[in-house]
Amino acid sequence: MSALSILQLYPDELGVAGDRGNVMAVRERLQRSGHEVTIVEHVAGNKLPGAADLVVVGNGPLSAMRNVHADLLASADTLRGYVASGVPLFAYGSGAELFGHGITQLDGSVMDGIEILPFSAERIQTRTVGYVLTETKFGGLVGFEDNASAWHLDRPADALGVLLEGGGNSDGNAEGVLFGSLIGTQIGGPVLPLNPLLTDAIIGFMAANSGFDYAPSAELLDLDRYAEQARDVIVSHAKHVFSRI
């Protein structure tokens, strides 16, 4: 079997919050379970590969979003083609917002999205900074959030999870968006090393679409133990209030 391909979009611009850690978490779990993995980093101006087994995009400031926006729009048909063929997507923060309908800025202008994730984003005055806990179909997720965005999901689009602590989509109830094997979230940390069950769910989406078998191996027990220790610290400090700079 040929190597599985993880495509990371704009890692320099949309990778400022440890987003390579999300890619590394998927790669490490696959490799420790006996699969060969190739990481493809797409930069603006290059052509996207003809195929991928997973697409990952991360977070970045408005200036970074503007730097990659034209390339993303030019690449939209290829990315929609991936999704149409069942390729899973994991998108975090502003990267997820670019995969939605668009982002309304504070001045009222709108940065167009590429219409893959069923939600719209709106930049707001209030910034949410702190730990976040969410209950999802993949188990409880923990992490860190730092954003000033409200996410408005299409009806009847599903949230990724029910908010237990934190700001989430800014409505006090929901966090992220889940559309089949497409996931958008505001949870950082990075989130996938902290939440092995979510990482395994994403790998399960990959396996179902790409036709390979995956079962977490004993080689992953140490990673899961480290994740559990980090999760315990976050849960115990979930109500901590962080200073805003």
Instruction: Examine residue 244 and state whether it is found in any structural domain, yes or no.
Output: no
Q: What's the pLDDT band for 19 if we cut at 50, 70, 90?
A: confident
Mean pLDDT of 89-114: 97
Instruction: Examine residue 179 and state whether it is found in any structural domain, yes or no.
Output: yes
Which pTM value belongs to this model? 0.94
What confidence score (pLDDT) does residue 245 get?
A: 44
Which ranges of the chain would DSSP assign to H, the alpha helix?
Answer: 20-32, 62-84, 94-98, 191-194, 196-210, 221-236
What confidence score (pLDDT) does residue 1 get?
A: 59
Residue 221 pLDDT > 90, yes or no?
no
Residue 240 pLDDT > 70, yes or no?
no
pLDDT digits (tens, 9 = 90+) for 158-194: 999 999 999 999 988 999 999 999 999 999 989 999 9
pLDDT digits (tens, 9 = 90+) for 28-69: 999 999 999 999 999 999 999 999 999 999 999 999 999 999
pLDDT digits (tens, 9 = 90+) for 110-126: 999 999 999 999 999 99
pLDDT digits (tens, 9 = 90+) for 69-87: 999 999 999 999 999 999 9
Q: In Å, what is the CA distance from 149 to each residue of 97, 121, 168, 172, 216?
A: 9, 6, 9, 13, 35
Query: Which of 23-27, 166-170, 231-235 has the least mean pLDDT?
Result: 231-235
Which ranges of 85-174 would DSSP assign to H, the alpha helix?
Answer: 94-98
Instruction: Examine residue 38 and state whether it is found in any structural domain, yes or no.
Output: yes
Instruction: Examine residue 37 and state whether it is found in any structural domain, yes or no.
Output: yes
Instruction: Examine residue 147 and state whether it is found in any structural domain, yes or no.
Output: yes
Tokens of 86: 């069942």
Task: Report how far residue 133's alpha carbon sits from residue 175's, in angstroms, rounded to the nearest whole number.
Answer: 9
Specify the CATH number for the domain of residue 22: 3.40.50.880
Tokens of 217: 């191996």
Would you call 90 exposed, middle or buried from its count of C-beta atoms within 10 A (0-12, 13-18, 19+)? buried
- Residues of the domain holding 77: 4-236
Instruction: Examine residue 177 and state whether it is found in any structural domain, yes or no.
Output: yes
What confidence score (pLDDT) does residue 53 get?
A: 98
Would you call 141 exposed, middle or buried from its count of C-beta atoms within 10 A (0-12, 13-18, 19+)? buried
Count of domains forming the chain: 1
What confidence score (pLDDT) does residue 239 get?
A: 72
Q: What percent of the chain has pLDDT over 90?
A: 83
What confidence score (pLDDT) does residue 17 get?
A: 76
Instruction: Examine residue 74 and state whether it is found in any structural domain, yes or no.
Output: yes
Nearest to 182 by CA among 59, 99, 104: 99
Nearest to 166 by CA among 189, 197, 198, 182: 189
Instruction: Examine residue 102 and state whether it is found in any structural domain, yes or no.
Output: yes
Radius of gyration of the chain (CA): 17
Task: Report how far residue 32's alpha carbon sits from residue 196's, in angstroms, rounded to the nearest whole number.
Answer: 13
**Which letter, b or e, does each residue of 170-199 get, where b requires 16 or more Cβ atoms within 10 Å of its Cβ?**
beeebbbbbbebbbbbbbbbbbbbbbbebb
Residue 235 pLDDT > 70, yes or no?
yes
Mean pLDDT of 204-214: 96
